[in-house]
């Protein structure tokens, strides 16, 4: 018994190697932000962390964990044919299968796979693996070929690849309950953290100064959206509908202002400005700690989310929200208390107006939102990952 306990103690003292797999680590992608947070947190907990990617743009270079670029996948004739006529995601999975010997020999105690095209490797890794379920986004506005990719991703992951994982970590109950029942039994929901951008020392005078910089008067009610600012095509984020809704709301109450923060180009900026939207494009992530406080309310017309990280971040800053009642929003928002969950355009506009005309309601919901925001922290996310890692490693 003593020998066994000593072995267990020594194995605990040895620094565990964690291999995180993600398609890329570049600016502007939500999953990459999450992977960076998890990698940093696990490194801080004493794990030796390496993130394996196909490519990176240097945004996440750091001295806490290592990023190893595996490079482009080796293209096969079969994958080129399938990629051209069927599905590019299926083609990448085939190429990853042909590259399995190079990747499956990676030395680690556990792997955590965050995205395709690494899912096919689950059966080849010698180490136990965890899969993180971020969901497959709505394909409503996609071309037919991209819809095939979406269908392929859902079917292949849920019916084939995820079966090889020891554990599945879902970022919401909404996504967990969309999995096959057999997979749900080994799935744990771990919410993401909303306390990404902490700015406890931002003074009220500074907030007023920032608002003034963007032409927001003290009497104005500023609504904030953080996400993709792509106006050239439609996606499930649907900022076109958001702009449409606020055009109507602003016609009824001129003090309503809409701010859109995200990545975009000059054409996006012109489009937003022409529609009386205040654009803050390509701002460094560090500035979001000053941008969230200048808003009075957070809003989004998104039609699909796996979690909705900006919404959680907004509540952390005490911002009531107006969003559609979709996906995981019920898990983040207490309807009627921390914000409004609406089901149609008319309700959306009505609730935007209600918050704009009632400062007491805004203040009450703001306090409730701040309390709700405390339930979504990166510390809790990290604790959930650490618990799952230890459970899988220790069998």
> pLDDT digits over 51-103, tens only?
999 999 999 999 899 999 998 877 788 888 888 888 888 888 888 888 887 78
- Residue 202: its pLDDT value, please? 65
Distance CA 74, CA 77 (A): 10
Cβ-contact 256, 246 below 8 angstroms: yes
Phi first, then psi: give them for residue 164, nearest 5 degrees: -85, -5
Question: Which residues have CB under 8 Å from 311's CB, separation 6+?
Answer: 298, 300, 305, 321, 323, 329, 332, 333
Domain boundaries of the chain, sorted by first residue: 10-193+378-393, 204-373
Alpha-carbon span 142 to 35, nearest angstrom: 26
What would the two tokens of residue 264 be?
Answer: 């975009």
pTM (predicted TM-score): 0.92
DSSP state of 221: E
Determine the longest span between alpha carbons in the chain, in angstroms. Answer: 77
Confidence bin at 21 (pLDDT 50/70/90): very high
Question: Phi and psi at residue 18, in whole multiples of 5°?
Answer: -115, 125
How many CB atoms are located within 10 Å of the residue 155 CB? Answer: 11
pLDDT band, very low/low/confident/very high, at 9 (cuts 50, 70, 90): very low
d(CA 19, CA 39): 9
Q: How does DSSP classify residue 166? A: S
The pair of three-digit structure tokens given for residue 179, joined into one six-digit string = 């999995």
Q: Name the average pLDDT for the chain.
A: 91
Q: What is the dihedral of CA 33, 37, 39, 43, to 10 degrees?
A: 160
pLDDT tops 60 at residue 8: no
| Architecture category of domain 10-193+378-393 in CATH | 3-Layer(aba) Sandwich (3.40)
pLDDT for the residue numbered 172: 98
Q: How confident is the model at residue 200 (pLDDT cuts 50, 70, 90)?
A: low
pLDDT at residue number 11: 47
Residue 250 CB neighbour total at 10 angstroms: 19
Is the predicted pLDDT of residue 12 greater than 70, yes or no?
Answer: no
Q: Is the pLDDT of residue 260 over 70?
A: yes
Which CA distances in Å does 65 have to 19, 20, 37, 47, 68? 10, 10, 11, 9, 10
Tokens coding 187: 């799935």
Q: Quote the DSSP letter at residue 337.
A: T
Q: Are 311 and 333 contacting, i.e. CB atoms less than 8 angstroms apart?
A: yes
Cis peptide before 225 (omega within 30 of 0): no
For residues 342 and 352, what is the distance between their CA atoms, to the nearest angstrom?
A: 10
140: tokens are: 């409503």
Confidence class of residue 320 from pLDDT cuts 50, 70 and 90? very high
CB 356 within 8 A of CB 295: no
pLDDT at 14: 67
Q: Answer whether 10-193+378-393 and 204-373 agree in fold.
A: yes
Alpha-carbon gap, residue 357 to 352, rounded angstroms: 9
**What ranges in the chain are assigned the alpha helix state H?**
2-13, 30-44, 77-85, 88-98, 100-104, 144-159, 173-176, 181-184, 204-213, 239-252, 266-274, 288-291, 309-316, 329-332, 345-357, 359-373, 378-393
268 to each of 213, 230, 242, 272, how far by Cα in Å? Answer: 20, 6, 15, 6
Stretch 140-162: mean pLDDT: 89
Query: With contact defined as beta carbons under 8 Å apart, do 94 and 131 qualify?
Result: no
Average pLDDT over residues 146-175: 94
The span from the CA of 208 to the CA of 296, in Å, is: 12
pLDDT at 285: 82
CATH class of 204-373: alpha beta
Phi-psi region of 238 (alpha: psi -120 to 50; beta: other; left: phi over 0): left
CA atoms within 13 A on the CB side of 387: 11
């Amino acid at each position: 018994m003593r020998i066994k306990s000593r072995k267990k103690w020594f194995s605990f003292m040895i620094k565990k190697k964690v291999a995180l797999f993600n398609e890329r680590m570049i600016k502007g992608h939500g999953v990459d932000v999450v992977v960076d947070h998890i990698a940093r947190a696990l490194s801080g907990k004493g794990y030796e962390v390496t993130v394996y990617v196909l490519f990176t743009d240097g945004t996440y270079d750091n001295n806490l964990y290592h990023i190893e670029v595996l490079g482009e996948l080796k293209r096969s004739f079969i994958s080129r044919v399938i990629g051209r006529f069927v599905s590019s995601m299926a083609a990448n999975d085939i190429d990853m299968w042909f590259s399995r010997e190079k990747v499956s020999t990676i030395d680690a105690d556990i792997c955590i796979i965050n995205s395709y095209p690494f899912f096919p490797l689950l059966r080849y890794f010698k180490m136990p693996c965890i899969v993180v379920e971020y969901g497959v986004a709505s394909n409503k506005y996609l071309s037919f070929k991209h819809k095939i990719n979406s269908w392929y991703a859902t079917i292949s992951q849920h019916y084939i690849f995820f079966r090889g994982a020891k554990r599945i970590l879902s970022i919401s109950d909404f996504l967990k309950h969309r999995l096959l029942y057999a997979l749900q039994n080994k799935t744990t929901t771990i919410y993401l953290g909303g306390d990404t951008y902490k700015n406890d020392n931002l003074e009220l005078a500074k907030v007023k100064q920032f608002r003034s910089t963007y032409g927001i008067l003290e009497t104005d009610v500023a609504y904030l959206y953080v996400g993709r600012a792509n106006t050239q095509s439609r996606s499930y984020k649907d900022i076109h509908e958001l702009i449409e809704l606020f055009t109507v709301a602003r016609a009824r109450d001129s003090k309503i202002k809409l701010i859109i923060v995200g990545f975009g180009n000059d054409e996006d900026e012109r489009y937003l400005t022409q529609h009386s939207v205040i654009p803050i494009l390509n701002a460094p992530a560090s500035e979001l700690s000053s941008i969230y406080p200048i808003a009075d309310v957070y809003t989004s017309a998104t039609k699909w989310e796996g979690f909705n990280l900006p919404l959680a971040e907004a509540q952390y800053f005490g911002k009531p929200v107006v969003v559609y009642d979709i996906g995981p929003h019920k898990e983040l928002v207490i309807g009627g208390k921390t914000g409004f969950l609406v089901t149609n355009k008319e309700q959306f506009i009505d609730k935007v107006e209600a918050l704009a005309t009632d400062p007491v309601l805004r203040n009450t919901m703001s306090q409730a939102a701040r309390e709700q925001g405390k339930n979504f922290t990166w510390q809790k996310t990290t604790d959930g990952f650490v618990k799952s890692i230890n459970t899988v490693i220790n069998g």
